Structure 1
Amino acid sequence: MMGENRARVVALVVAVVVVVVGVAGNVAAAQAAVTVADLQRVAGSLQMYVDALPQMAKIRGYGFQRGQAVPINLTIGMYQKTWKFHRDLPATPVFVYGQCPDSATFPGPTIMARHDVPLFVRWENHLPASHILPWDPTVPTAIPKNGGVPTVVHLHGSAHPPQSDGSAFAWFTAGFAEKGPAWTQATYRYPNVQPPGNLWYHDHALGLTRANLLAGLLGAYVIEKPEVDTPMDLPCDDDDLHLVIADRSFNVDGSLYMNSTGVAPNIHPQWAPEYFGEAITVNGKAWPFLVVHRRRYRLRILNASNARYFNVSLSNGLPIHVVGSDASYLSAPVTVSNLLLSPAEIFDVVVDFSQSPTAEIELLNSAPYPFPTGAAPGPLNGKVMKFIVQPNGPLDPPDNSTVPDHEVPYASVTALPPTTMTRYIVMYEYLTPTGQSTHLYINGLRLEDPVTETPKSGTTELWQVINLTGDNHPLHIHLGMFQAVKMQQLVNLQAFTDCMTAVNDAVKCNVDQHAVGPVVPVPDHEKTWKNVIKVPPGFVTSVILDHEDNAMIRPLKLLA
C-alpha cells in the first residue's frame, strides 16, 4: 500500500497502444441502490445446467476462386436487441455484433480467417442514442456532441496496419454521424499475416470499453493455416468448440447490472476499478451444459470478463492438454490439471472425454477475486458449466483426432536474441487517503501525454514490466505479439515503490538492486507468442517484443 500513490495496473498485450479496460455507461440510466445480496439472490435463483451451450455462428473470412482462398469484404454491425441468458431470466437488453439484427448474438459471430489472405471488414454502428449501462464522464471518455453510443472495434492480438487497429480515439457513432479525432476509415484491413491461432474482437472506444464489453460487444476470431493445422489431427468440425466465459450480474427484471455509484463518488461519480459478476456465463448462457461423446474435443477458451480471473479445472480430475495459448500454438502440448486465465486471455486445449470415469463433469473455478489475494469463489462463481458424457452411438464416426507429440518450432524463445533497447513499463494506481482507487497510469503518464515508446520496425526490444500494485494484472500491447521470458520478485518493495512514486524512473530507483528476489518460471503452457501475459504484484516481468479506461492506456509509435 502506498497511501495516495499505490501502484497497480491492468495492461493488455501486443503492439501500438497499451490499453486498460474502460469504464463507461449512461449517466442518465442511474439505477436504484442495489446490494450484493440482491445480485446474489437473482443469480442464486437461476438453476444451473438447464440451458444447452450454444455455439456462435461462424463467418468465413475469405472466398474461393479456382480453388484458392481470396480476400473478401464483410459488413458487421453493432445492434441493440434482447438476449436470453437463462431459461428463467427475463430477456436482457444487450449490444451485440452480427451481419444483421436477427443474426446478432452474445458473443458475436466467430470469424474464421485464412493465413496470409487479407480480410476487409466494414464495422457499422447501429446502436441507439443512449447507452443501456451507466457511464462516467469524469474519466477520459468519448463523448459525442449530439448523442449516440461511441464504438470502435479492436482485433485483439492481430498484426495489422495502425489505421485498422481500433484506437480508442477512432470511435464513431451511428451512421458515422460523429467521429473521434483518430478516426480514419470505415473499413478495416486485417492482413492475417501472423501464424495460425486464436484472437478476439471487441469494442475499444475511449472510456467506454468496460461498459460496451459488458453490454456484449465481443466475439471470437480464428486464423487458420491448413499446412500447419491439418497435420496435427486435432479435433475438428463439431468437436472443435469455443467457450467464451464472462461473469455478469443481473437485476430482477433481467437487465444487466453495472454499478451507478463509484468507489470514490466525490471524484468519479460512477467509475469503479473492477467488475465482478455473480453469474458465470459461457457463450451467453448462465452455467450451461454441453452433451459430449466419449471422444476428444478441442475447446478454445476465452476469458471475456472485465476483471475476473478464472482458474479452471474438471471436477473428476480429467487432464487438460494445452495445445495453444492466445494467437499461437505451443512448441509441444502441455498437460495440466488446472488452467489460470486472465481477462482477455485465450487457451486452446484438448480434453479426451473417452477417459472420463464419470458421466457428468463440472468445469470449476478456484481463482480468488480480485486475483490473487481476494475472496475465494463461492457456490455460484466457483462453477462454470457442466459436461454430460454420453456413449458413442453406432452411427458416430470414429475419433481419429490426436494430441500431437510436437507442434510448431517457432513458438518458444529458447535463447534471448540480441536486443536494441530495454524499456521499463511501470503500472501505477493512485488512491485516496482512505484507499479508494481514483485513476491508473502507465509510467505515470496520461494517454494524451507525448509518446515515449517508439520501437523501430525490424528490431527486438526487451521490456521490463513492473507491477507495483496489489493485484495480478494482464498486459496487452497492440499490433504484434510478445513473449514473457522471466518473472522475478522485487525485494524491499515499499522502498522501491516510494522512490518510483517520487521520481518515476526505474534506473534512478536502482531497479536492479530490487529485482533480486525469487524467479518464478514462466509456465510451460505460456511459452509462446502471446497477446496477454499475467504480471504478478510486486514482480518485474521481462517481455520480449518482436516486431484502458480510466487513463490506463498509452500510445506506442512504431518507427520505420
Structure 2
Amino acid sequence: MVGMERILVLQIIYLVLVGLEVFAWAGVGLLNPSQLEMFVDELPDMPKIKGYDVVNGFPVPNSLQIGMFHKKWKFHRDLPPTPVFAFGLSRDTATIPGPTIETLHGIDTHITWKNYLPSKHILPWDPTIPTAIPSTKKGIPTVVHLHGGIDEPKSDGLSTSWFTAKFRERGPTWTNKKYHYHNFQHPGTLWYHDHAMGLTRVNLLAGLLGAYIIRDPNVEAPLRLPYDEEFDRPLVVFDRSFRTDGSIYMNSTGNNPSIHPHWRPEYFGDAIIVNGKAWPHMIVRRRKYRFRIINASNARFFKFYFASGLGFIHLASDSAYNGRPVMVNNILLAPSEIADVVIDFSKSKSDSDILANDASYPYPSGDPVNEANSKIMKFIIKPHHELDTSRIPSKLINYPSPNLSSVSLTRYIALYEYTSKIDQPVHLYINGMPYEAPVTETPKVGATEIWNVINLTEDNHPLHIHLGLFVALDQTELLNIEEFKECMLKFNDAIKCHVGKAWLRLSLPYLRSRGQCDDEAIEIHQIEV
C-alpha cells in the first residue's frame, strides 16, 4: 500500500511539473502561417557524414560519434530562432534534420549516439502513458532507431533501450553504447530517429531525425540514374506549428484529460518543412534530378503532385528498389514512408513549378488541405536545356518473390483502439494485449510467414516491422466491423472471430541479420507515443 501511495504521489508531482510548464507555454500566441511568406528560403542540402573510411583506395569500416544537442534553428526568414533538439558532430554543426549518413553496402558503420540534451524538455509530455522516466527525474531519455535497417537487436534502438546524458541512466533493455550497422542489405534510403518510450512524438517534433543512405556502386552505377550531391537529394518533409516567439507549438490538452491530461493523438502542424525550412525553393536545371522523399511527420499523410501536371518516375519505396521504374502523377506517403523518385525538369513548360499536396488530414476522410499545408516547395527552373547523361533504365533491381508454398505459419494481427466514456482513444492494443505483454509473435530466421493484419480502428495505421522486410499481398474491406469488434471484446483473439478475407495480408520473408533473432518490434508508425 505504501508503494502504491508513493507511485500516486510521484505521478501527481509529474503532473504538477508538466502542468507548470504547459502554463508557461500557454502565454505565447500561436502564429498564423499566413504571416510567413512562402518560398523565400533556399532548400538546404544537409551536411553529409561518411559511414566508411578509405584506406589505400579501398573502403573500410568507420566509427562515428553523433550527438543530440539543444540549440536554436531558423525555420524561416521571418520567424525568430526556434529552440530544437538536433543531431550533429557538434552543437555548432548540428542541423534539422540531422546530417545525411552515407554508407556503402557491406562496409560496417559503428555509431555512438551521444545524448547532450538538457534536464528538461522543450515540449510537453504526458507521464500517464507508458514513458521512459529516469529514476532521478533528471535528463531526457533518448535512443536512436535506424528505420529500415536490418541489424542485431542490440543496435536496433528499442524504445526501452533509452539513455540520458552521459549514459547516467539507462532503460531496462539497454546493452551497449556503440551501435553496429552492417549495411549488408540492398542499397536504398533509410532514416534514423529517436525512439524512446512515450517520448518519440516530442523528441521527433523537437528535431531528432535524419536520412541514412546505403549505396552499392556495383549494382547502382550500371543504372546510370541521376547521381552526385547536386542531382541526388534527400527531401525530409514534415509539418510544424509555431508560436509567435518562434517556439514549436504543440497542443498540450489531452483529448481524455481525466485519463491522459496532455496526450493528444495525431499532431498536424500548420507549416510544411522541407530539409529544415518552411516552404523552401530550389533552383534546378532543365534535366533529371533524383529525390529521396521521406515523410517524417508524426501523423500527416502527403499526396504529392505538381500543379502543372509534371510527373514522377518512381524508383523505390522505403529501402527497396522497384523491379522497374513507374511513371506516376502523384505520390502518396504515410508517416515514415519513403519514395525515391526522379523528376525530369526538361519536361516542364514553365520557369517554375510548385510541389503541392492534397491529402486530407487525418487521411483519408479528415479536413481538406488549406493554403498553408497544400504547398510543399517551389522549383525555379533555369531557362536553358543542357546535356544530361543520366537515364531511366527499363529495369531496376529484381528481388525474389515470396515463396508462398513454403509458408511456415499464418498469423492474425488485430488492431483495436479502446476508447473512454467520451468516445476518445485511450490506448491501442494488438490482439487485445498491451506493449508490456509477453511476446507472442516469434518468427524464425529465414522463415516465410503470412500475417493477416486487421485494422478495427477509425484511423490509417502505417505498419512497420523492425529488422525485416515484408510484401503486401492483398487488401480487402471488413464486411461487418461492429460485429467483429464485439467478438474481439469477448475473446481478444482474431482467429476466433472468423472474419474471412477481410484484412491486409502480408508476406514476411524474414530478412534478418546474421541469424540474430533476440528481439524485434512491431509498430503502428503514427509517431504519437
Asked if these proteins are the same fold (TM beyond 0.5), I'd say: yes
**Secondary structure in 2 matching 1:163:** helix
Q: Which amino acid aligns with 1:252?
A: T
- The residue type equivalent to 1:324 in the other structure is A
Q: Matches of 1:386 and 1:132 in 2, distance apart?
A: 31
- Structure 2 residue 169 is matched with structure 1 residue 169: no
Distance change >3 Å, CA 446–CA 119, structure 1 → 2? same
Within the candidate set 225, 242, 245, 2:237 is matched to 245
Q: CA deviation at 1:34?
A: 6.0
Q: CA–CA distance in 2 between the matches of 1:313 and 1:382?
A: 10
Aligned length: 497
1:457 aligned partner: 445
- State the AA in 2 paired with 1:499: C
Deviations 1:186-208 (A, max 9, x none): 00000111100000000001100
Q: Report the 3-state secondary structure (helix = DSSP H, G, I; strand = E; otherwise coil) of the residue aligned with 1:391.
A: strand
Choose which of 508, 514, 529 in structure 2 pairs with 1:544. 508
Q: Which structure carries more relative contact order (alpha carbon 8 Å, separation 6+)?
A: 1
**Letter of the 2:60 counterpart:** V
* Cα separation, partners in 2 of 1:135 and 1:326, compared to 1, 3 Å: same
- The answer (yes or no) to whether the contact 1:310–1:342 under 8 Å persists in 2 is yes
Q: 1:426 aligns with which of 414, 417, 423?
A: 414
Q: 2: CA distance between counterparts of 1:468 and 1:272?
A: 20
Alpha-carbon offset, residue 298 of structure 1 = 0.2
Give me the TM-score of the superposition, normalised by structure 2: 0.91
**Structure 2 CA distance, aligned partners of 1:427 and 1:352?**
41
Deviation at 1:65, TM superposition (A): 2.2
The match for 1:497 is 485
Question: What are the equivalent positions in structure 2 for 1:43-442 lying under 5 Å apart?
Answer: 43-146=33-136, 147-237=138-228, 238-392=230-384, 398-410=387-399, 413=401, 416-442=404-430
CA deviation map 1:216-268 (0-9, x unaligned): 00000000000111111111111111110000000110000112211111000
Structure 1 gap ranges (5+): 1-24, 517-538, 548-554
Q: In the alignment, which residue of structure 1 is the partner of 2:7? A: none
Q: Following the alignment from structure 1 to structure 2, what is the Cα–Cα distance between the partners of residues 35 and 541?
A: 49
* 3-state secondary structure, aligned to 1:213: helix
Q: Hey, what's the Cα distance between the residues in 1 that align with 2:506 and 2:521? A: 20
- Contact 1:485 1:544 (8 Å CA) reproduced: no
Distance 2:59 2:470 in 1: 28
CA contact (8 A) 1:133 1:211 kept: yes
Greater Cα shift, 215-224 or 256-265: 256-265
| Displacement after TM superposition at 1:68 (Å) | 1.9
Contact 1:243–1:283 (Cα < 8 Å) also in 2: yes
Does the aligned pair in 2 maintain the 1:331–1:408 contact within 8 Å? yes
CA RMSD after TM alignment: 1.9
Structure 2 partner of 1:444: 432
Distance in 1 (CA, whole Å) between partners of 2:88 and 2:331 is: 31
CA apart distance, 1:31: 4.2
Residues 338-360 of structure 1: per-residue CA shift (max 9 Å, x gap): 11000000010000000101111
Q: Secondary structure at the match of 1:30?
A: helix
1:489–1:298 distance in 2 versus 1, CA, 3 Å: same
Deviation at 1:392, TM superposition (A): 3.7
Provide the TM-score with structure 1 as the length reference. 0.86
CA contact (8 A) 1:359 1:389 kept: yes
Give the partner amino acid of 1:268: H
Cα contact 2:105–2:184 (8 A) shared by 1: yes
Task: Give secondary structure in 1 for the equivalent of 2:68.
Answer: strand
Instruction: Go from structure 1 to structure 2 and tell me whether the alpha carbon gap of 1:201 and 1:556 turns closer, same or farther (over 3 Å shift).
Output: closer
